[in-house]
Structure 1
């Protein structure tokens, strides 16, 4: 009988306690996301990527990608000569309106280090690194191009594919949301 009284008392307390709680609701606040932007950031547990479009006073454009590594993460430099399917790779897809001008610049440059996965030296990127790639605009017409950054992040061993879209409109270059 004592157990039954205790259970009834607990249930009654829970019922009274929950009926006195009020639910707070927030008004639907519209959020505005810009349709175009000159930089954006992607956060992951293993890295943070920051993309930026840089315009010089001479109307030259650069795509700048900063990679901040977390949790002892690493990836293979685009300057590694050996064939690896997951080394850092940047693409603008198929387009006649824009392409890369010259080689990508890696700062600081990756150095050959002993590969823990096999008996060889590899250009592993193990520190925060910036990549800077000049863009060559081939037309003054408005256009949109879809690009992709790809790399394998270790030790998680996942192929990361980061899509982005660049728009050139009225003489200004901006990122736009990559919509399929």
Structure 2
């Protein structure tokens, strides 16, 4: 009788361990699912939005407009900053014979110079921390079809990443466009 009771106890203990292992695996699967859902929710929003517009002026002149909308306390260095910063907001055009830049890149509203004691700045800087519009006037020198590539470059803070936004200025059958270039 003693042997029978010991055998039954062993079977009962072994069967309980198996059930617990299965329950533990199911619990781990549930935890992984919950973590994955939480990770999806915690993906940060893009710190900025960018929009490009083109406004026709007189003759063959146009305003290229870059609208920077900043989210969640994002900021970047203005092109009007007097000091040299590698991540200063800049617009680059490939060499071409079809458009001329007229004047400088205009900023609205204008950023204000301030002193920043951050170790990477340590001095004066023009931070752009509000929604800002940049305007560059160009002159188109031909009526032929063309395309000019370029990019907008800046370091977005506090993420501290160098952003390069490719764009294309394209004339096709007299229809001029200025838009973000996607390969």
TM (norm. structure 2) is: 0.70
Q: How does 1:15-30 map to 2 (within 5 A)?
A: none
C-alpha distance 129-166 of structure 1, shift in aligned 2 (>3 A): same
- Return the index of the structure with the highest Cα Rg: 2
User: Alignment partner for residue 127 of structure 1, among 114, 126, 130?
Assistant: 130
CA distance in 2, matches of 1:72, 1:116: 18
CA distance in 2, matches of 1:73, 1:97: 35
- The answer for unaligned runs of 5 or more in structure 2 is 1-10, 20-44
Superposed displacement of residue 176, structure 1:
5.9
User: What secondary structure sits across from 1:155 in the alignment?
Assistant: coil
Mapped pair 1:178 → 2:181: yes
Match of 1:55 in 2: 56
Superposed structure 1 runs of 4+ greater than 6 Å apart = none
User: Alignment partner for residue 163 of structure 2, among 143, 146, 160?
Assistant: 160
1:74-123 CA distances to partner (integer Å, 9 max, x unpaired)?
A: 10111112111110000111111113111111001110112142431111
CA distance in 2, matches of 1:176, 1:67: 14
Equivalent pair of 2:152/2:166 in contact (CA under 8 Å): yes
C-alpha distance 162-173 of structure 1, shift in aligned 2 (>3 A): same
Compute the RMSD of aligned alpha carbons: 2.6
- The answer for unaligned runs of 5 or more in structure 1 is 8-43
TM (norm. structure 1) is: 0.71
